[in-house]
């Protein structure tokens, strides 16, 4: 998420992931305030074993698209509603990505759907006999 003030929206994603038994990590990285940390996070995510990144941001909401530009993993963008424009600015910023930078976008404030979208944790591979 772009700011710790996004947590009330993103907490619903964490709760859905908990219900599915999916392990996750929570980080605040900002496309505007900490761009290098955000890029480092996105570039290293697959190597840490992550399978998907859920990125929530409000306002200009550049975080999901910037993360998607730096990782091969699927990115789910969550438009976080703010007091001005009720999250429409965030939604339009996240959903209108250029070709080659895909971001699956959920509804404004749709943290729960973002957490449910990846589904349950896949079972561990079985050892050969």
Instruction: Answer whether residue 103 shows pLDDT above 90.
Output: yes
pLDDT for position 127? 76
pLDDT for position 47? 97
Q: What is the pTM of this model?
A: 0.91
Task: Quickly list DSSP for the chain.
Answer: --SGGGHHHHHHHHHHHHHHT---------TTTSHHHHHHHHHHTGGGT---EEEEEETT--HHHHHHHT-SS-EEEEEEP-SSGGGHHHHHHHH-PPTT---EE--TT-HHHHHHTT-SPPPPPPPP-
Q: pLDDT by residue (tens digit) across 25-72?
A: 999 999 999 999 999 999 999 999 999 999 999 999 999 999 999 999
Q: pLDDT by residue (tens digit) across 61-90?
A: 999 999 999 999 999 999 999 988 999 999
CATH number of 4-114: 3.40.50.1970
């Amino acid at each position: 998420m772009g700011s710790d003030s996004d947590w009330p929206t993103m907490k619903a994603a964490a709760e859905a992931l908990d219900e599915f038994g999916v392990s996750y990590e929570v980080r605040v990285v900002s496309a505007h305030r900490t761009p290098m940390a955000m890029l480092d996070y996105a570039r290293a995510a697959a190597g840490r074993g992550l399978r998907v990144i859920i990125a929530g941001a409000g306002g200009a909401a550049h975080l999901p698209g910037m993360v998607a530009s730096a990782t091969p993993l699927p990115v789910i963008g969550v438009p976080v509603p703010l007091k001005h424009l009720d999250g429409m600015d965030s939604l339009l910023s996240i959903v209108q990505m250029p070709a080659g930078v895909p971001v699956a976008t959920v509804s404004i404030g749709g943290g729960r759907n973002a957490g449910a979208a990846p589904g349950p944790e896949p079972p561990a591979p079985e050892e050969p006999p």
